[in-house]
Amino acid sequence: MLLFKGSNFLAELDLILKNKCEKVETDKKLAVLHLLPTPSSKKFIALKKKVASQYDIEVKVYNFTEKTPKRKVYDTLKSLNEDDTVGGIVVQYPFPEKYTFADISTRINPLKDVDFFTDKTYGGFSLNLFPDFMPPVVRSLDYFLNTYKLELKGKRYIILGQGHLVGKPVATYLINREATVYSLNEFSPKIESTLKKADVVISATGNPNILKPHILKKGASVIDFGYGFVDSKPVGDLDMSEDISHLNIVSPSPGG
């Protein structure tokens, strides 16, 4: 069993990012709208700021609460869309319940859409029109699969979760590369028996320890994108308290 540690690849990724930054304007700001403060959203925004600072990219965070009128958020998005000093816009998940995904996605300038929320960015990605441009999570998955040369064609990839940030774009990416893809949600029938057939499980439910390793067959791999908290400590979907020695490659959360 190989336990993937993202920290072992920081130097390589740093070189890749520096080369990319040399080819684009890095004097543009990244605007992050924080609509619903949670432990996970605060953590991810802090990580964005930390990484951006290493490449001299300014991150401006716009903080709101559940009580903030929708119009104020929409006006902020409109202003950022028109601001030439802003190169990218992120609306940090999760959203308050009063917002639909379309409320946000239709109000982001596609040219500044970091997370591929808009119809133009996600549509282009779905149709594989821009092979070099991927949603952030998909880019990390692509790097992982290429690093370990995991096969796609003829292999069963099972995705737990169908969210806009992970589940849906990951399924699209895998389908475009001719993997056999099962996309599961909480209402899917026979989840456990389906998981037993998986060659690779990609989990993104945000429910701590929901994925039990003993269910999975010998030689299966797990890529955990889940992120939750137990007793104020970050925990992934995969229950790491169980024996994982029968698995092939495990990318845990956090740390993967």
Q: Write out the residue range of the structural domain in which residue 141 sits.
A: 136-251
* Residue 11 within any structural domain of the chain: no
For residue 26, pLDDT over 80 is answered with no
What does the pLDDT average to over 217-234? 96
* Residue 5 within any structural domain of the chain: no
Task: Give pLDDT, residue 16.
Answer: 86
What does the pLDDT average to over 230-254? 96
| 3-state helix/strand/coil string of the chain | CEECCHHHHHHHHHHHHHHHHCCCCCCCEEEEEECCCCHHHHHHHHHHHHHHHCCCCCEEEEECCCCCCHHHHHHHHHHHHHCCCEEEEEEECCCCCCCCHHHHHCCCCHHHECCCCCHHHHHHHHCCCCCCCCCHHHHHHHHHHHHHCCCCECCEEEEECCCCCCHHHHHHHHHHCCEEEEEECCCCCCHHHHHCCCCEEEECCCCCCCECHHHCCCCCEEEECCCEEECCEEECCECCCCCCCCCCEEECCCCC
Given pLDDT bands bounded at 50, 70 and 90, which one contains residue 27?
confident
* Residue 4 within any structural domain of the chain: no
Give 169-192 pLDDT, tens digit per residue.
Answer: 999 999 999 999 999 999 999 999
For residue 25, pLDDT over 80 is answered with no
Given pLDDT bands bounded at 50, 70 and 90, which one contains residue 19?
confident
For residue 23, pLDDT over 90 is answered with no
Q: Are residues 238 and 148 in the same domain?
A: yes
The total number of structural domains that make up the chain: 2
Q: Are residues 147 and 115 in the same domain?
A: no
Task: Give pLDDT, residue 21.
Answer: 83
What is the percentage of the chain residues whose pLDDT exceeds 90? 90
Task: Give pLDDT, residue 202.
Answer: 98
Contact 192, 221 (CB under 8 A): no
Task: Give pLDDT, residue 234.
Answer: 94
For residue 66, pLDDT over 80 is answered with yes
Neighbours of 115 (CB within 10 A): 22
Q: Are residues 147 and 243 in the same domain?
A: yes
Task: Give pLDDT, residue 132.
Answer: 83
Task: Give pLDDT, residue 3.
Answer: 96
The CATH number for 91's domain is: 3.40.50.10860
Considering just the CA atoms, what is the radius of gyration of the chain in Å? 19
Q: Are residues 117 and 143 in the same domain?
A: no
Q: Are residues 87 and 151 in the same domain?
A: no
Average pLDDT, the chain: 95
Give 102-133 pLDDT, tens digit per residue.
Answer: 999 999 999 999 999 999 999 999 999 988 89
For residue 248, pLDDT over 80 is answered with yes
Q: Considering 124, 149, 175, which residue would you say is the last residue of a domain?
A: 124
